[in-house]
């Protein structure tokens, strides 16, 4: 038996594949698309309440992407030779980069 740490990742993400995982990714992509549509609302006259609302939306997106990323990196850290974990981390990094690039206008 190995003395290496094994993370209980079920609280972070139920699975790295399947309908539940696909739903999380679909949801975050949809939220990013909706957020992109709010770009026109950003101007010098934006009301503080509206800006705060947009910041909260952005924070929610970050929480989702961070949760999925944390799952992948913790899983990979258990066994760096695990090809499924490597592939998952690469997939999530690609998705995260793609979505974060769409949100750069808000930086």
Distances (CA, A) of 92 to 13, 66, 72, 77, 81: 13, 10, 8, 15, 18
Q: Could you tell me which of 97, 98, 79, 85 has the C-alpha nearest to residue 13?
A: 85
Cβ atoms 69, 91 nearer than 8 A = no
Q: For residue 57, how far is the Cα from the chain centroid?
A: 13
Please state the pTM of the whole predicted model.
Answer: 0.85
Q: What is the mean pLDDT of residues 64-73?
A: 96
- Tell me: the pLDDT tens digits for 15-66? 899 999 999 999 999 999 999 999 988 999 999 999 999 999 999 999 999 9
pLDDT of residue 2: 60
Q: Could you tell me which of 72, 76, 67 has the C-alpha nearest to residue 92?
A: 72
- Tell me: the pLDDT tens digits for 79-95? 999 999 999 999 999 99
The angle that helices 83-102 and 19-36 make with each other, rounded to 10 degrees, is 20
């Amino acid at each position: 038996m190995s003395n290496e740490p094994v993370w209980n990742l079920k609280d972070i993400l139920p699975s790295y594949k399947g309908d539940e995982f696909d739903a999380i990714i679909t949801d975050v992509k949809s939220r990013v698309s909706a957020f992109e549509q709010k770009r026109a609302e950003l101007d010098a006259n934006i009301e503080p309440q509206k800006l705060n609302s947009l910041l909260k939306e952005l924070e929610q997106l970050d929480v989702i992407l961070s949760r999925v990323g944390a799952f992948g990196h913790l899983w990979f850290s258990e066994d760096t030779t695990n090809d499924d974990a490597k592939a998952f981390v690469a997939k999530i990094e690609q998705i995260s980069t793609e979505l974060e690039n769409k949100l750069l206008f808000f930086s």
